[in-house]
Amino acid sequence: MNYTINQLQIFLKVTQKKSITKAAEELFMTQPAVSIQLKNFQDQFDIPLTEVIGRQLYVTEFGEEIALIAEKIIQEIANINYKTQAYKGLLTGKLKIFSASTGKYVIPFFLSGFIEQNTAVDLVLDVTNKTMVMESLKNNQTELALVSVVPENVQVEEEIIIANKLFLIGSQPNRSANIPLIYREKGSATRAAMENYFLTHEGSKRKRLELTSNEAVKQAVIAGLGNSIMPVIGIKNELLNKQLYIIESEGLPISTEWRLIWLKGKKLSPVAQAFLDYVRKEKTRILDEQFKWYMKF
C-alpha cells in the first residue's frame, strides 16, 4: 500500500461529512479533486470503504474502521508538529471551542490577540446552537464552551465575558399588532427566552415563523417578514444604518451573560488554560476597544 497523508485527510473528511461536496468545501478543494483522491485511496483496498445508494454516500463498516485509524494517524502527525514547536519554546496544541450561535459576535475578538501571540496553536471554533454546544461539552469533545445561559444538570465553572441583551427588533420603529413573530429553532437559548417572554406577557397563541440561524432571522426582519427578540450585539451595523430598530417593550431587554464554561473539576490542557488566563488578563481592554458601542444599551 502506498497511500498518502493527504489521502487519509480527504478520506476522513468524507466520512465525517458523508458527502464529497461538503468535504471539498471544507478542504478548499474542487469536488473532482476530492473524488480522484478518494478513488486512488479506495483502489488500495479490496473491500469497499464507501458506497453510494441513490444519491447518498454511505461509509461501510470497513470504511468506519479505516476512518478511526486515519484519525489517529493524523492526530499523531499533529502531535509531531506540536512537539517540534514545544522544543522551540512555543505554546503548542489545539484550542477547540464550541460556541452558541450568537457567540460568533463575541468570541473572535478574544481569540485574535491570543492566536497572534501564539502562532503554533491551532484553533477550531465550532458555532452551533446551545443544545449541541452542551452535548459537545458533556461528551468531552471540547474543553471550553461559550454560552449565554448556565446549563441545567451539568456542573461547570465559568468566566463571565460580557452581558447579553435581547430586545424586540423590527424593520420599523413602531410595532404593529398584526405582524408575526420570527423565532429561532428549538434548542436555541434565544428561542427559549423569546417563548418565555411572550408566554408571560402576551400568551403563547401568536402567529410565528421559525428560522435556524440568527443571521436568517436578521435578514427576515429586515425584509419585513416579522419582528423578533434578538441579541443586540449581532445587529450593530443594521441599527446604525436604520435597517433595524429597537421596539420599546415592557419587560425588555432580557439580560443574560456570555460566559466561557468548562466541566467542574476538569484539568484544562495547557493551551486551554493559557487562553483562559489571556481572557482574564485582557478582558477589560478588549471590551473597552471593541464593545464600547454596545455598553450604552
Q: Over the stretch 245-277, which tens digit does the pLDDT of each residue have?
A: 999 998 999 999 999 999 999 988 889 999 999
d(CA 259, CA 139): 19
Q: Is pLDDT at 205 greater than 60 in this prediction?
A: no
CATH fold for the domain made of 90-162+257-296: D-Maltodextrin-Binding Protein; domain 2 (3.40.190)
Mean pLDDT of the 287-297 span: 93
Please give the mean pLDDT across all residues of the chain: 89
pLDDT in the model for residue 145: 96
Beta strand pairing call for 208-210 and 181-183: parallel
Residue 70's Cβ-count burial label (10 Å; 0-12, 13-18, 19+) is buried
Share of the chain above pLDDT 70, in %: 96
What separation, in Å, do the N-terminal and C-terminal C-alpha atoms of the chain show? Answer: 62
| Residue pLDDT, tens place only, 165-190 | 999 999 998 877 778 899 998 888 88
Q: Is pLDDT at 76 greater than 90 in this prediction?
A: no
Report helix, strand or coil for 212.
coil
- The top-level CATH class assigned to 164-255 is alpha beta
pLDDT in the model for residue 85: 64
Whether domain 5-86 has CATH 1.10.10.10: yes
| Residue pLDDT, tens place only, 218-248 | 999 999 999 999 999 999 999 999 999 999 9
Mean pLDDT of the 127-131 span: 87
**Is the Cβ–Cβ distance between 259 and 146 less than 8 Å?**
yes
Q: Is pLDDT at 100 greater than 80 in this prediction?
A: yes
| Residue pLDDT, tens place only, 141-152 | 899 999 998 878
For the chain, which residues make up each domain, given as ranges? 5-86, 90-162+257-296, 164-255
pLDDT in the model for residue 87: 59
Equal fold, 5-86 vs 90-162+257-296? no
For residue 257 the three cell numbers come to 451573560
d(CA 45, CA 43): 5
224: left (phi over 0), alpha (psi -120 to 50) or beta: left
